[in-house]
A and B are shown apart, each in its own frame.
Chain A
Protein backbone atom coordinates (compact mmCIF):
# COMPACT_ATOMS: atom_id res chain seq x y z
CA UNK A 1 0.00 0.00 0.00
CA UNK A 2 2.65 2.49 1.07
CA UNK A 3 6.17 2.14 -0.19
CA UNK A 4 9.09 4.39 0.70
CA UNK A 5 12.08 3.87 -1.56
CA UNK A 6 15.28 5.46 -0.25
CA UNK A 7 13.44 8.57 0.88
CA UNK A 8 15.32 11.55 2.28
CA UNK A 9 13.71 14.85 3.17
CA UNK A 10 15.67 18.04 3.71
CA UNK A 11 14.06 21.34 4.57
CA UNK A 12 15.65 24.56 3.41
CA UNK A 13 17.97 26.30 5.91
CA UNK A 14 18.85 23.06 7.65
CA UNK A 15 22.07 21.21 7.09
CA UNK A 16 20.88 17.77 8.11
CA UNK A 17 18.02 15.78 6.55
CA UNK A 18 14.91 15.13 8.70
CA UNK A 19 14.53 11.71 7.15
CA UNK A 20 17.61 10.04 5.75
CA UNK A 21 17.46 7.27 3.19
CA UNK A 22 14.39 5.44 4.50
CA UNK A 23 13.06 2.36 2.77
CA UNK A 24 10.08 0.41 4.04
CA UNK A 25 6.75 -0.98 2.94
CA UNK A 26 3.47 -0.96 4.80
CA UNK A 27 1.15 -3.61 3.52
CA UNK A 28 -2.62 -3.73 3.45
CA UNK A 29 -4.57 -3.82 6.70
CA UNK A 30 -1.66 -3.00 8.98
CA UNK A 31 -2.01 -0.71 11.97
CA UNK A 32 1.36 0.94 12.09
CA UNK A 33 2.42 3.09 15.01
CA UNK A 34 4.88 5.86 14.35
CA UNK A 35 6.85 6.75 17.48
CA UNK A 36 9.66 9.14 18.22
CA UNK A 37 10.53 12.24 20.18
CA UNK A 38 9.56 15.79 19.30
CA UNK A 39 11.30 16.90 16.14
CA UNK A 40 12.26 13.39 15.13
CA UNK A 41 10.38 13.75 11.85
CA UNK A 42 7.09 12.02 12.64
CA UNK A 43 4.93 14.69 11.03
CA UNK A 44 7.26 14.87 8.04
CA UNK A 45 6.97 11.15 7.45
CA UNK A 46 3.18 11.25 7.80
CA UNK A 47 2.89 14.17 5.44
CA UNK A 48 5.15 12.51 2.91
CA UNK A 49 2.61 9.71 2.58
CA UNK A 50 0.05 11.86 0.84
CA UNK A 51 2.45 14.25 -0.81
CA UNK A 52 2.00 17.24 1.51
CA UNK A 53 5.75 16.88 1.86
CA UNK A 54 7.13 18.34 -0.34
CA UNK A 55 4.21 19.72 -2.41
CA UNK A 56 2.74 21.77 0.41
CA UNK A 57 5.54 22.23 2.94
CA UNK A 58 8.46 22.80 0.62
CA UNK A 59 11.81 21.11 1.13
CA UNK A 60 13.51 18.53 -0.99
CA UNK A 61 12.47 14.91 -1.20
CA UNK A 62 14.91 12.41 -2.64
CA UNK A 63 13.80 8.93 -3.53
CA UNK A 64 10.28 7.82 -4.17
CA UNK A 65 7.05 7.45 -2.20
CA UNK A 66 4.52 5.12 -3.80
CA UNK A 67 0.95 5.03 -2.55
CA UNK A 68 -1.11 2.32 -4.18
CA UNK A 69 1.28 2.53 -7.07
CA UNK A 70 0.93 6.31 -7.41
CA UNK A 71 4.10 8.32 -7.15
CA UNK A 72 3.74 11.37 -4.90
CA UNK A 73 6.15 13.23 -7.12
CA UNK A 74 3.59 13.36 -9.91
CA UNK A 75 0.48 13.26 -7.73
CA UNK A 76 -0.13 16.28 -5.47
CA UNK A 77 -2.14 15.66 -2.27
CA UNK A 78 -5.48 16.53 -3.85
CA UNK A 79 -5.04 13.83 -6.47
CA UNK A 80 -4.41 11.28 -3.71
CA UNK A 81 -7.50 12.24 -1.72
CA UNK A 82 -9.33 9.11 -2.87
CA UNK A 83 -6.69 6.71 -1.48
CA UNK A 84 -5.21 8.50 1.53
CA UNK A 85 -7.26 10.07 4.29
CA UNK A 86 -5.27 12.44 6.50
CA UNK A 87 -6.46 13.58 9.92
CA UNK A 88 -4.43 16.41 11.36
CA UNK A 89 -3.44 17.07 14.96
CA UNK A 90 -6.09 19.65 15.73
CA UNK A 91 -9.27 18.55 13.94
CA UNK A 92 -10.99 21.91 14.37
CA UNK A 93 -8.35 23.61 12.22
CA UNK A 94 -8.98 21.20 9.38
CA UNK A 95 -12.74 21.58 9.15
CA UNK A 96 -13.88 23.25 5.94
CA UNK A 97 -17.65 23.36 6.42
CA UNK A 98 -19.61 24.08 9.58
CA UNK A 99 -21.93 21.19 10.32
CA UNK A 100 -21.16 17.51 10.89
CA UNK A 101 -23.12 16.22 7.93
CA UNK A 102 -21.62 18.65 5.42
CA UNK A 103 -18.14 17.97 6.72
CA UNK A 104 -18.62 14.25 6.17
CA UNK A 105 -19.70 14.91 2.59
CA UNK A 106 -17.00 17.41 1.72
CA UNK A 107 -14.32 15.03 0.44
CA UNK A 108 -16.88 13.07 -1.55
CA UNK A 109 -18.08 16.25 -3.22
CA UNK A 110 -14.53 16.93 -4.34
CA UNK A 111 -14.25 13.40 -5.71
CA UNK A 112 -17.49 13.78 -7.70
CA UNK A 113 -19.17 10.82 -6.05
CA UNK A 114 -22.82 10.58 -7.17
CA UNK A 115 -25.37 12.07 -4.77
CA UNK A 116 -27.20 8.81 -3.84
CA UNK A 117 -23.88 7.12 -2.97
CA UNK A 118 -22.88 10.13 -0.89
CA UNK A 119 -26.13 9.99 1.02
CA UNK A 120 -25.62 6.31 1.82
CA UNK A 121 -22.00 6.66 2.85
CA UNK A 122 -22.72 9.57 5.15
CA UNK A 123 -25.35 7.50 6.97
CA UNK A 124 -23.00 4.50 7.19
CA UNK A 125 -20.15 6.60 8.51
CA UNK A 126 -22.37 8.31 11.09
CA UNK A 127 -23.23 4.87 12.45
CA UNK A 128 -19.75 3.43 12.15
CA UNK A 129 -18.31 6.12 14.38
CA UNK A 130 -21.32 6.46 16.63
CA UNK A 131 -22.00 10.10 15.82
CA UNK A 132 -25.45 9.80 14.25
CA UNK A 133 -27.04 12.02 16.87
CA UNK A 134 -24.60 14.82 16.06
CA UNK A 135 -25.40 15.09 12.37
CA UNK A 136 -26.85 18.61 12.37
CA UNK A 137 -24.62 19.99 15.08
CA UNK A 138 -22.26 22.86 14.27
CA UNK A 139 -18.69 21.55 14.41
CA UNK A 140 -17.52 24.22 16.84
CA UNK A 141 -19.97 23.07 19.52
CA UNK A 142 -18.63 19.50 19.62
CA UNK A 143 -16.36 18.20 22.35
CA UNK A 144 -12.78 17.24 21.52
CA UNK A 145 -13.51 13.53 21.18
CA UNK A 146 -16.52 14.15 19.00
CA UNK A 147 -14.54 16.50 16.77
CA UNK A 148 -11.81 13.93 16.38
CA UNK A 149 -14.33 11.27 15.36
CA UNK A 150 -15.98 13.63 12.88
CA UNK A 151 -12.56 14.41 11.39
CA UNK A 152 -11.91 10.69 10.96
CA UNK A 153 -15.39 10.21 9.50
CA UNK A 154 -14.86 13.09 7.11
CA UNK A 155 -11.94 11.32 5.44
CA UNK A 156 -13.52 7.86 5.74
CA UNK A 157 -16.51 8.68 3.57
CA UNK A 158 -14.22 8.79 0.55
CA UNK A 159 -13.35 5.13 1.31
CA UNK A 160 -9.61 5.66 1.41
CA UNK A 161 -7.53 2.51 1.68
CA UNK A 162 -5.02 4.31 3.88
CA UNK A 163 -5.69 6.34 6.99
CA UNK A 164 -2.98 8.68 8.32
CA UNK A 165 -3.52 10.10 11.80
CA UNK A 166 -1.29 12.64 13.53
CA UNK A 167 -1.68 12.36 17.32
CA UNK A 168 -5.38 11.55 17.26
CA UNK A 169 -5.74 11.43 21.05
CA UNK A 170 -3.40 14.16 22.27
CA UNK A 171 -6.19 16.52 23.35
CA UNK A 172 -8.57 13.90 24.65
CA UNK A 173 -9.43 12.56 28.07
CA UNK A 174 -8.72 8.83 28.54
CA UNK A 175 -12.30 7.73 27.82
CA UNK A 176 -12.67 9.81 24.66
CA UNK A 177 -9.25 8.58 23.53
CA UNK A 178 -10.44 4.99 23.98
CA UNK A 179 -13.48 5.76 21.81
CA UNK A 180 -11.36 7.18 19.02
CA UNK A 181 -8.83 4.36 19.13
CA UNK A 182 -11.61 1.78 19.20
CA UNK A 183 -13.05 3.36 16.07
CA UNK A 184 -9.65 3.16 14.35
CA UNK A 185 -9.04 -0.48 15.26
CA UNK A 186 -12.52 -1.34 14.11
CA UNK A 187 -11.78 0.16 10.71
CA UNK A 188 -8.54 -1.78 10.47
CA UNK A 189 -10.09 -5.07 11.53
CA UNK A 190 -13.48 -4.85 9.84
CA UNK A 191 -12.60 -3.05 6.63
CA UNK A 192 -8.93 -3.85 6.20
CA UNK A 193 -7.96 -0.20 6.14
CA UNK A 194 -4.25 0.47 6.47
CA UNK A 195 -3.59 2.89 9.30
CA UNK A 196 -0.48 4.88 10.10
CA UNK A 197 -0.78 6.57 13.51
CA UNK A 198 1.70 8.92 15.15
CA UNK A 199 1.29 9.21 18.90
CA UNK A 200 3.29 10.46 21.85
CA UNK A 201 1.34 8.61 24.51
CA UNK A 202 2.39 5.13 23.52
CA UNK A 203 0.58 3.57 26.47
CA UNK A 204 -2.70 4.39 24.79
CA UNK A 205 -1.95 2.89 21.39
CA UNK A 206 0.79 0.34 21.63
CA UNK A 207 -1.38 -2.72 22.27
CA UNK A 208 -3.40 -2.04 19.12
CA UNK A 209 -0.37 -1.74 16.85
CA UNK A 210 0.85 -4.50 14.53
CA UNK A 211 4.12 -2.80 14.01
CA UNK A 212 6.15 0.15 15.17
CA UNK A 213 8.17 2.55 13.11
CA UNK A 214 10.48 4.28 15.54
CA UNK A 215 12.29 7.45 14.58
CA UNK A 216 15.22 7.97 16.98
CA UNK A 217 15.73 11.51 15.70
CA UNK A 218 18.87 11.15 13.61
CA UNK A 219 16.95 10.61 10.40
CA UNK A 220 17.04 6.82 10.59
CA UNK A 221 14.19 4.42 11.27
CA UNK A 222 13.77 1.29 13.39
CA UNK A 223 11.08 -0.95 12.06
CA UNK A 224 9.63 -4.09 13.60
CA UNK A 225 7.00 -5.69 15.80
CA UNK A 226 6.15 -3.59 18.89
CA UNK A 227 7.61 -5.94 21.51
CA UNK A 228 10.92 -6.12 19.70
CA UNK A 229 11.26 -2.39 19.00
CA UNK A 230 10.20 -1.32 22.47
CA UNK A 231 12.72 -3.60 24.16
CA UNK A 232 15.45 -1.12 23.32
CA UNK A 233 13.91 2.28 22.62
CA UNK A 234 14.69 5.20 24.91
CA UNK A 235 11.00 6.12 25.01
CA UNK A 236 8.60 3.52 26.29
CA UNK A 237 5.22 3.34 27.97
CA UNK A 238 5.13 2.40 31.67
CA UNK A 239 3.99 -1.13 30.88
CA UNK A 240 7.13 -1.73 28.87
CA UNK A 241 9.36 -0.15 31.49
CA UNK A 242 7.82 -2.43 34.09
CA UNK A 243 8.36 -5.38 31.78
CA UNK A 244 11.99 -4.46 31.30
CA UNK A 245 12.41 -4.03 35.04
CA UNK A 246 10.88 -7.40 35.81
CA UNK A 247 12.70 -9.03 32.92
CA UNK A 248 9.57 -10.35 31.22
CA UNK A 249 10.07 -11.93 27.85
CA UNK A 250 8.42 -11.41 25.45
CA UNK A 251 7.53 -7.89 26.55
CA UNK A 252 3.82 -7.64 27.31
CA UNK A 253 2.06 -4.77 25.58
CA UNK A 254 -1.45 -5.00 26.95
CA UNK A 255 -2.51 -4.87 30.57
CA UNK A 256 -3.98 -8.36 30.19
CA UNK A 257 -0.70 -9.91 29.07
CA UNK A 258 1.20 -8.03 31.72
CA UNK A 259 -1.13 -9.16 34.50
CA UNK A 260 -0.66 -12.76 33.42
CA UNK A 261 3.09 -12.34 33.64
CA UNK A 262 3.01 -10.28 36.83
CA UNK A 263 2.14 -12.98 39.36
CA UNK A 264 5.68 -13.45 40.67
CA UNK A 265 6.26 -9.71 40.73
CA UNK A 266 3.12 -9.17 42.78
CA UNK A 267 4.27 -11.87 45.18
CA UNK A 268 7.65 -10.28 45.66
CA UNK A 269 6.05 -6.87 46.22
CA UNK A 270 3.45 -8.11 48.66
CA UNK A 271 5.66 -7.55 51.69
CA UNK A 272 6.67 -4.07 50.54
CA UNK A 273 4.73 -1.00 51.50
CA UNK A 274 3.87 1.17 48.53
CA UNK A 275 5.43 4.57 49.06
CA UNK A 276 3.13 7.13 50.60
CA UNK A 277 3.13 10.56 49.05
CA UNK A 278 3.15 13.71 51.08
CA UNK A 279 -0.29 14.53 52.39
CA UNK A 280 -1.56 17.74 53.96
CA UNK A 281 1.52 18.94 55.73
CA UNK A 282 2.06 22.45 54.39
CA UNK A 283 0.12 25.52 55.36
CA UNK A 284 -3.01 26.43 53.40
CA UNK A 285 -1.93 28.49 50.41
CA UNK A 286 -5.28 28.88 48.67
CA UNK A 287 -8.66 28.84 50.36
CA UNK A 288 -11.59 28.73 47.97
CA UNK A 289 -15.18 28.53 49.14
CA UNK A 290 -18.29 28.05 47.03
CA UNK A 291 -16.64 28.99 43.75
CA UNK A 292 -19.23 29.22 40.96
CA UNK A 293 -18.44 30.02 37.32
CA UNK A 294 -21.25 30.32 34.84
CA UNK A 295 -21.50 31.39 31.24
CA UNK A 296 -25.11 32.37 30.66
CA UNK A 297 -27.18 29.27 31.28
CA UNK A 298 -24.19 26.98 31.50
CA UNK A 299 -22.73 26.29 34.92
CA UNK A 300 -19.05 25.44 34.43
CA UNK A 301 -18.04 25.26 38.08
CA UNK A 302 -20.85 24.54 40.52
CA UNK A 303 -19.77 25.65 43.96
CA UNK A 304 -16.35 24.14 44.64
CA UNK A 305 -14.74 24.28 48.09
CA UNK A 306 -11.02 23.78 47.89
CA UNK A 307 -7.91 24.15 50.03
CA UNK A 308 -4.50 24.00 48.39
CA UNK A 309 -1.50 23.38 50.59
CA UNK A 310 2.02 24.64 50.19
CA UNK A 311 4.42 22.01 48.97
CA UNK A 312 1.70 19.83 47.53
CA UNK A 313 1.10 18.90 43.89
CA UNK A 314 -2.58 18.55 43.07
CA UNK A 315 -3.80 16.97 39.84
CA UNK A 316 -7.10 18.27 38.52
CA UNK A 317 -8.74 15.66 36.34
CA UNK A 318 -12.03 15.20 34.55
CA UNK A 319 -13.31 14.79 31.03
CA UNK A 320 -13.19 17.49 28.36
CA UNK A 321 -15.49 20.31 29.37
CA UNK A 322 -15.88 19.35 33.03
CA UNK A 323 -14.81 22.78 34.26
CA UNK A 324 -11.10 22.28 34.96
CA UNK A 325 -9.92 25.36 33.06
CA UNK A 326 -12.74 27.52 34.39
CA UNK A 327 -11.81 26.58 37.94
CA UNK A 328 -8.12 27.38 37.38
CA UNK A 329 -8.91 30.75 35.81
CA UNK A 330 -11.31 31.57 38.63
CA UNK A 331 -8.67 30.69 41.23
CA UNK A 332 -6.15 32.91 39.47
CA UNK A 333 -8.58 35.81 39.41
CA UNK A 334 -8.29 36.61 35.70
CA UNK A 335 -11.22 34.45 34.71
CA UNK A 336 -14.85 35.04 35.59
CA UNK A 337 -16.12 34.04 39.01
CA UNK A 338 -19.85 34.30 39.52
CA UNK A 339 -19.92 33.54 43.23
CA UNK A 340 -17.75 32.36 46.08
CA UNK A 341 -14.53 33.54 47.65
CA UNK A 342 -10.88 32.87 46.89
CA UNK A 343 -8.19 33.86 49.34
CA UNK A 344 -4.51 33.57 48.47
CA UNK A 345 -1.91 34.91 50.87
CA UNK A 346 -4.56 37.04 52.51
CA UNK A 347 -5.85 38.69 49.34
CA UNK A 348 -8.52 37.95 46.75
CA UNK A 349 -6.61 37.74 43.44
CA UNK A 350 -9.67 38.92 41.49
CA UNK A 351 -9.92 42.10 43.54
CA UNK A 352 -6.36 43.34 42.99
CA UNK A 353 -4.53 44.42 39.84
CA UNK A 354 -3.37 41.67 37.46
CA UNK A 355 0.23 42.46 38.37
CA UNK A 356 -0.44 41.89 42.07
CA UNK A 357 -2.51 38.79 41.38
CA UNK A 358 0.26 37.13 39.41
CA UNK A 359 2.70 37.77 42.24
CA UNK A 360 0.65 35.39 44.38
CA UNK A 361 -0.87 33.01 41.81
CA UNK A 362 0.73 32.19 38.47
CA UNK A 363 -1.20 30.45 35.72
CA UNK A 364 0.21 28.84 32.59
CA UNK A 365 -2.70 28.66 30.12
CA UNK A 366 -3.54 25.84 27.75
CA UNK A 367 -1.88 27.59 24.83
CA UNK A 368 1.28 29.00 26.41
CA UNK A 369 2.18 30.78 23.18
CA UNK A 370 -0.59 33.31 23.91
CA UNK A 371 1.74 34.92 26.42
CA UNK A 372 4.65 35.32 24.02
CA UNK A 373 4.91 38.28 21.72
CA UNK A 374 8.54 39.31 21.51
CA UNK A 375 11.05 38.46 18.81
CA UNK A 376 13.60 36.58 20.84
CA UNK A 377 13.82 34.59 24.02
CA UNK A 378 16.21 37.16 25.49
CA UNK A 379 13.82 40.08 24.93
CA UNK A 380 10.97 37.99 26.28
CA UNK A 381 12.94 37.28 29.46
CA UNK A 382 13.95 40.92 29.86
CA UNK A 383 10.30 41.96 29.52
CA UNK A 384 9.35 39.41 32.17
CA UNK A 385 11.94 40.89 34.56
CA UNK A 386 10.50 44.36 34.02
CA UNK A 387 6.90 43.20 34.44
CA UNK A 388 7.70 41.41 37.68
CA UNK A 389 10.05 44.22 38.87
CA UNK A 390 12.89 41.74 39.43
CA UNK A 391 16.57 42.37 38.83
CA UNK A 392 17.73 41.87 35.22
CA UNK A 393 18.50 38.29 34.39
CA UNK A 394 16.15 36.66 36.92
CA UNK A 395 13.94 35.14 34.23
CA UNK A 396 16.90 34.02 32.11
CA UNK A 397 18.44 32.35 35.16
CA UNK A 398 15.19 30.57 35.95
CA UNK A 399 14.86 29.45 32.35
CA UNK A 400 18.36 27.98 32.45
CA UNK A 401 17.32 25.78 35.39
CA UNK A 402 14.13 24.62 33.63
CA UNK A 403 15.42 23.84 30.17
CA UNK A 404 18.73 23.57 28.44
CA UNK A 405 19.75 24.28 24.92
CA UNK A 406 17.64 27.40 24.42
CA UNK A 407 19.59 30.09 22.59
CA UNK A 408 18.75 33.64 23.75
CA UNK A 409 18.51 34.71 20.11
CA UNK A 410 15.90 32.12 19.16
CA UNK A 411 12.38 33.14 18.24
CA UNK A 412 9.95 31.86 20.89
CA UNK A 413 7.77 30.32 18.19
CA UNK A 414 10.68 28.27 16.88
CA UNK A 415 11.11 26.48 20.22
CA UNK A 416 9.87 22.96 20.71
CA UNK A 417 6.69 22.46 22.72
CA UNK A 418 8.65 21.52 25.82
CA UNK A 419 11.02 24.47 25.54
CA UNK A 420 8.14 26.88 24.99
CA UNK A 421 6.37 25.53 28.07
CA UNK A 422 9.60 26.03 30.05
CA UNK A 423 9.89 29.61 28.79
CA UNK A 424 6.33 30.52 29.77
CA UNK A 425 6.78 28.80 33.10
CA UNK A 426 9.98 30.77 33.69
CA UNK A 427 8.16 34.01 32.84
CA UNK A 428 5.40 33.21 35.31
CA UNK A 429 7.85 32.05 38.00
CA UNK A 430 9.77 35.32 37.69
CA UNK A 431 6.96 36.96 39.66
CA UNK A 432 7.68 34.37 42.42
CA UNK A 433 4.10 33.33 43.10
CA UNK A 434 3.48 30.87 45.93
CA UNK A 435 0.82 29.08 43.89
CA UNK A 436 1.34 27.76 40.35
CA UNK A 437 -1.57 26.60 38.22
CA UNK A 438 -0.81 24.67 35.03
CA UNK A 439 -3.56 24.08 32.49
CA UNK A 440 -2.97 20.96 30.35
CA UNK A 441 0.80 21.44 30.25
CA UNK A 442 1.92 18.15 28.72
CA UNK A 443 0.00 18.30 25.47
CA UNK A 444 2.46 17.60 22.68
CA UNK A 445 5.34 16.67 24.99
CA UNK A 446 7.25 13.48 24.35
CA UNK A 447 8.34 11.14 27.17
CA UNK A 448 11.70 12.84 27.61
CA UNK A 449 10.17 16.30 27.88
CA UNK A 450 7.50 14.95 30.18
CA UNK A 451 10.05 13.41 32.55
CA UNK A 452 11.81 16.77 32.64
CA UNK A 453 8.56 18.55 33.29
CA UNK A 454 7.65 16.15 36.11
CA UNK A 455 11.02 16.95 37.69
CA UNK A 456 10.32 20.68 37.42
CA UNK A 457 6.91 20.30 39.07
CA UNK A 458 8.30 18.25 41.95
CA UNK A 459 11.06 20.82 42.33
CA UNK A 460 8.57 23.68 42.62
CA UNK A 461 6.62 21.77 45.26
CA UNK A 462 9.80 20.95 47.15
CA UNK A 463 10.55 24.68 47.31
CA UNK A 464 7.20 25.20 49.01
CA UNK A 465 4.92 26.16 46.16
CA UNK A 466 1.37 24.85 45.89
CA UNK A 467 1.06 23.40 42.38
CA UNK A 468 -2.12 22.46 40.51
CA UNK A 469 -1.86 20.56 37.23
CA UNK A 470 -5.01 20.15 35.15
CA UNK A 471 -4.39 17.22 32.85
CA UNK A 472 -5.75 14.17 31.05
CA UNK A 473 -2.46 12.36 31.34
CA UNK A 474 -2.90 9.66 33.97
CA UNK A 475 0.74 8.60 33.84
CA UNK A 476 1.87 12.14 34.56
CA UNK A 477 -0.55 12.31 37.48
CA UNK A 478 0.80 9.04 38.82
CA UNK A 479 4.30 10.45 38.64
CA UNK A 480 3.89 13.91 40.12
CA UNK A 481 0.66 14.31 42.05
CA UNK A 482 0.22 14.03 45.81
CA UNK A 483 -3.48 14.53 45.62
CA UNK A 484 -6.07 14.13 42.88
CA UNK A 485 -9.24 16.12 42.44
CA UNK A 486 -11.79 14.82 40.02
CA UNK A 487 -14.29 17.20 38.44
CA UNK A 488 -17.48 16.20 36.63
CA UNK A 489 -19.99 18.73 35.38
CA UNK A 490 -18.44 21.42 37.55
CA UNK A 491 -18.72 19.39 40.74
CA UNK A 492 -15.90 17.89 42.74
CA UNK A 493 -16.68 14.17 42.70
CA UNK A 494 -13.46 12.84 44.19
CA UNK A 495 -10.67 14.37 46.25
CA UNK A 496 -7.97 12.38 47.93
CA UNK A 497 -4.42 11.05 47.86
CA UNK A 498 -3.33 10.00 44.38
CA UNK A 499 -3.25 6.29 45.11
CA UNK A 500 -6.75 6.25 46.61
CA UNK A 501 -8.40 8.11 43.76
CA UNK A 502 -6.51 6.63 40.83
CA UNK A 503 -6.38 2.97 41.73
CA UNK A 504 -10.12 2.89 42.32
CA UNK A 505 -11.02 4.14 38.83
CA UNK A 506 -10.86 1.73 35.87
CA UNK A 507 -10.53 4.52 33.28
CA UNK A 508 -8.09 6.71 35.14
CA UNK A 509 -5.84 4.13 36.76
CA UNK A 510 -2.26 4.23 35.45
CA UNK A 511 -0.95 1.11 33.76
CA UNK A 512 1.22 0.03 36.66
CA UNK A 513 -1.74 0.21 39.02
CA UNK A 514 -3.84 -1.90 36.66
CA UNK A 515 -1.13 -4.53 36.41
CA UNK A 516 -0.34 -4.72 40.10
CA UNK A 517 -3.85 -4.29 41.55
CA UNK A 518 -5.00 -4.88 44.22
CA UNK A 519 -1.63 -3.61 45.43
CA UNK A 520 -1.35 0.16 45.29
CA UNK A 521 1.60 0.93 43.07
CA UNK A 522 1.46 3.88 40.72
CA UNK A 523 4.73 4.19 38.88
CA UNK A 524 7.61 2.07 37.68
CA UNK A 525 9.98 4.22 39.72
CA UNK A 526 8.12 3.30 42.93
CA UNK A 527 8.31 -0.38 42.08
CA UNK A 528 11.97 -0.12 41.19
CA UNK A 529 12.71 1.60 44.46
CA UNK A 530 10.87 -1.11 46.35
CA UNK A 531 12.85 -3.77 44.54
CA UNK A 532 16.01 -1.75 45.22
CA UNK A 533 16.82 -1.56 41.63
CA UNK A 534 17.62 1.47 39.57
CA UNK A 535 14.75 2.44 37.32
CA UNK A 536 15.46 1.74 33.65
Chain B
Protein backbone atom coordinates (compact mmCIF):
# COMPACT_ATOMS: atom_id res chain seq x y z
CA UNK B 1 0.00 0.00 0.00
CA UNK B 2 1.36 3.44 -0.81
CA UNK B 3 2.44 5.57 2.14
CA UNK B 4 0.13 8.40 1.13
CA UNK B 5 -2.86 6.08 1.23
CA UNK B 6 -1.95 4.99 4.76
CA UNK B 7 -1.81 8.58 5.94
CA UNK B 8 -5.16 9.30 4.36
CA UNK B 9 -6.64 6.24 6.03
CA UNK B 10 -5.35 7.24 9.44
CA UNK B 11 -6.62 10.75 8.91
CA UNK B 12 -10.03 9.46 7.92
CA UNK B 13 -10.07 7.23 10.96
CA UNK B 14 -9.02 10.14 13.13
CA UNK B 15 -11.81 12.25 11.75
CA UNK B 16 -14.43 9.55 12.18
CA UNK B 17 -13.33 8.93 15.72
CA UNK B 18 -13.23 12.64 16.50
CA UNK B 19 -16.65 13.29 15.02
CA UNK B 20 -18.10 10.33 16.91
CA UNK B 21 -16.66 11.59 20.18
CA UNK B 22 -17.97 15.08 19.50
CA UNK B 23 -21.45 13.80 18.74
CA UNK B 24 -21.45 11.61 21.83
CA UNK B 25 -20.28 14.51 23.97
CA UNK B 26 -22.97 16.80 22.61
CA UNK B 27 -25.56 14.07 23.09
CA UNK B 28 -24.49 13.78 26.71
CA UNK B 29 -24.84 17.52 27.19
CA UNK B 30 -28.27 17.42 25.61
CA UNK B 31 -29.26 14.63 27.98
CA UNK B 32 -27.92 16.68 30.90
CA UNK B 33 -29.91 19.69 29.75
CA UNK B 34 -33.12 17.67 29.59
CA UNK B 35 -32.44 15.90 32.85
CA UNK B 36 -31.71 19.10 34.76
CA UNK B 37 -34.85 20.73 33.38
CA UNK B 38 -36.84 17.72 34.55
CA UNK B 39 -35.21 17.91 37.96
CA UNK B 40 -36.06 21.58 38.35
CA UNK B 41 -39.69 20.85 37.60
CA UNK B 42 -40.20 17.56 39.41
CA UNK B 43 -37.67 16.98 42.17
CA UNK B 44 -38.36 18.03 45.78
CA UNK B 45 -36.98 21.32 46.94
CA UNK B 46 -36.32 20.20 50.46
CA UNK B 47 -34.50 17.09 51.65
CA UNK B 48 -36.47 13.90 51.96
CA UNK B 49 -34.35 11.57 54.09
CA UNK B 50 -36.99 8.85 53.94
CA UNK B 51 -36.12 8.14 50.32
CA UNK B 52 -32.54 9.32 50.47
CA UNK B 53 -33.05 12.59 48.63
CA UNK B 54 -30.58 14.54 50.71
CA UNK B 55 -28.00 15.65 48.14
CA UNK B 56 -28.61 19.19 46.94
CA UNK B 57 -28.21 20.27 43.37
CA UNK B 58 -28.51 23.77 42.00
CA UNK B 59 -30.46 24.06 38.77
CA UNK B 60 -30.31 27.69 37.73
CA UNK B 61 -31.01 28.91 41.24
CA UNK B 62 -33.51 26.22 42.13
CA UNK B 63 -32.10 23.88 44.75
CA UNK B 64 -33.50 20.39 44.44
CA UNK B 65 -32.61 17.28 46.38
CA UNK B 66 -31.74 13.97 44.84
CA UNK B 67 -30.39 10.61 45.93
CA UNK B 68 -26.72 9.78 45.95
CA UNK B 69 -27.04 7.52 42.91
CA UNK B 70 -28.96 10.15 40.95
CA UNK B 71 -26.35 12.77 41.71
CA UNK B 72 -23.51 10.39 40.93
CA UNK B 73 -25.02 9.36 37.59
CA UNK B 74 -25.58 12.96 36.57
CA UNK B 75 -22.03 13.88 37.52
CA UNK B 76 -20.60 10.93 35.60
CA UNK B 77 -22.49 11.77 32.43
CA UNK B 78 -21.55 15.43 32.74
CA UNK B 79 -17.87 14.65 33.15
CA UNK B 80 -17.94 12.04 30.40
CA UNK B 81 -19.65 14.45 28.01
CA UNK B 82 -17.11 17.18 28.57
CA UNK B 83 -14.26 14.71 28.33
CA UNK B 84 -15.45 13.41 24.98
CA UNK B 85 -16.08 16.89 23.67
CA UNK B 86 -12.66 18.02 24.82
CA UNK B 87 -10.99 15.00 23.28
CA UNK B 88 -12.85 15.64 20.05
CA UNK B 89 -11.52 19.20 20.06
CA UNK B 90 -7.97 17.96 20.60
CA UNK B 91 -8.32 15.43 17.81
CA UNK B 92 -9.61 18.12 15.49
CA UNK B 93 -6.51 20.18 16.22
CA UNK B 94 -4.31 17.17 15.51
CA UNK B 95 -6.23 16.52 12.33
CA UNK B 96 -5.83 20.12 11.32
CA UNK B 97 -2.12 20.06 12.01
CA UNK B 98 -1.65 16.89 9.97
CA UNK B 99 -3.77 18.25 7.17
CA UNK B 100 -1.79 21.47 7.20
CA UNK B 101 1.47 19.58 7.03
CA UNK B 102 0.18 17.44 4.19
CA UNK B 103 -1.15 20.47 2.35
CA UNK B 104 2.19 22.25 2.59
CA UNK B 105 3.84 19.20 1.04
CA UNK B 106 1.22 19.03 -1.69
CA UNK B 107 1.43 22.71 -2.48
CA UNK B 108 -0.87 25.72 -2.09
CA UNK B 109 -4.59 25.65 -2.60
CA UNK B 110 -5.10 22.30 -0.97
CA UNK B 111 -5.73 23.23 2.66
CA UNK B 112 -8.63 21.27 4.10
CA UNK B 113 -10.95 22.64 6.70
CA UNK B 114 -11.52 21.04 10.04
Asked if A and B are interacting partners, one says no
